[in-house]
Amino acid sequence: MAAQWDAKNKNCLITGAAAGLGAAYVEALLKEGAKKVAVVDIDEQAGQELVAQLNETYNNSVIFVKCDVSKEPEIDHCFNIVVKEFGNIDVLINNAGIMSDLETTWRLASDVNYQGLVSFTMKAVKHMRKDEGGAGGVIVNIASTAGLTRINTFPIYSGCKAAVIHFSQNLALPPFFDDTGIRVMVLCPGATATKLVQGLAKKVVDMKNSQMMEEMFGKVHIQSVESAVITMLKLLKDGNNGSIWLSTHDRPPHELTPQINKYFDELEKLTFLN
């Protein structure tokens, strides 16, 4: 299935969109011709400022909806507001995230990084699915290279991001697309020049590892926001349902699906061996 997707006249909802990569995805989709975009974030001031700025250029095409992605009632309220304002949602990008494994924050971070993402995804599936009267659509779940590798400094964050990949790929298995007309895809950005990667040495699961984190991160190439945006647009336009994409080191977009499918094929042979 070659996607050949076009952003023109699409209605989009993006979480964690008041700043950083989320804000970059908002503007990129508007430049590509998106009809309406909902900026969803807990930071009301930053969200309203971004919307005011963008609406000067894009003819009042953007709205802000405040939402704490860790709280189910707020997710319900947010999704309903956007559907009411736009009529329908064609694109959901689950971008909201917190990178902190501290004892005081890891549960909140896990609720945002995984449970909130699942909630928005399942609401979008119900809203979009063609076999229940919807128009189909696209769901992009943001994972991380942390979900593809082993990092002893951030085991909780890494576990959530691995869960995002596994949840998304399992949801997308046949006959999901044929039934629903929805593509579910995953973007795994590496370290990118946003606030998410600032002060990480103070957010590790074990503070004895903080120096190790500083040394390790000092060797990591921090890619530009533009690189992640290029990969996002590539997967939206050309990505197949269930595909997983890597954006790291300012390299061109790279699809990981063949490698990951091969890995699971081998594991499933062992798991289901009679």
Residues 41-50 have pLDDT tens digits of: 999 999 999 9
> Most confidently modeled of 92-96, 102-106, 187-191?
92-96
What does DSSP assign to residue 212?
H
Question: For residues 236 and 5, what is the distance between their CA atoms, to the nearest angstrom?
Answer: 7
113 pLDDT higher than 80: yes
Q: The whole model's pTM is what? A: 0.92
The least confident of 1-10, 70-79, 170-179, 241-250 is 1-10
pLDDT of residue 212: 57
**Torsion angle defined by CA atoms of residues 52, 57, 59 and 64, in that order, rounded to the nearest 10 degrees:** -30
pLDDT of residue 4: 77
Share of the chain above pLDDT 90, in %: 82
User: Do the strands 36-41 and 137-142 form a parallel or antiparallel pair, or are they unpaired?
Assistant: unpaired
- Sequence spans of domains, the chain: 11-271
Q: Tokens for 271, please give them.
A: 């798991």
Distance from chain centroid for Cα 89:
16
Question: For residues 18 and 57, what is the distance between their CA atoms, to the nearest angstrom?
Answer: 17
pLDDT bucket at 205, cuts 50 / 70 / 90: confident
Q: Supply the mean pLDDT for the chain.
A: 92
Share of the chain above pLDDT 70, in %: 90
Half-sphere exposure of 57 (CA within 13 A, CB side): 10
- Name the H helices within the chain: 20-31, 44-57, 72-86, 106-110, 117-128, 155-171, 176-180, 210-218, 225-238, 257-271
Question: For residues 40 and 33, what is the distance between their CA atoms, to the nearest angstrom?
Answer: 19
pLDDT of residue 220: 72
* 233-247: pLDDT as tens digits: 999 999 999 999 999
Assigned architecture for domain 11-271? 3-Layer(aba) Sandwich (3.40)
What does DSSP assign to residue 183?
E
The SS3 assignment for 17 reads coil
54 pLDDT higher than 70: yes
- Residues with catalytic annotation? 157
* 143-160: pLDDT as tens digits: 999 999 998 889 999 999
Q: Tokens for 190, please give them.
A: 């590496």
pLDDT bucket at 1, cuts 50 / 70 / 90: very low
The least confident of 83-87, 147-151, 226-230 is 147-151
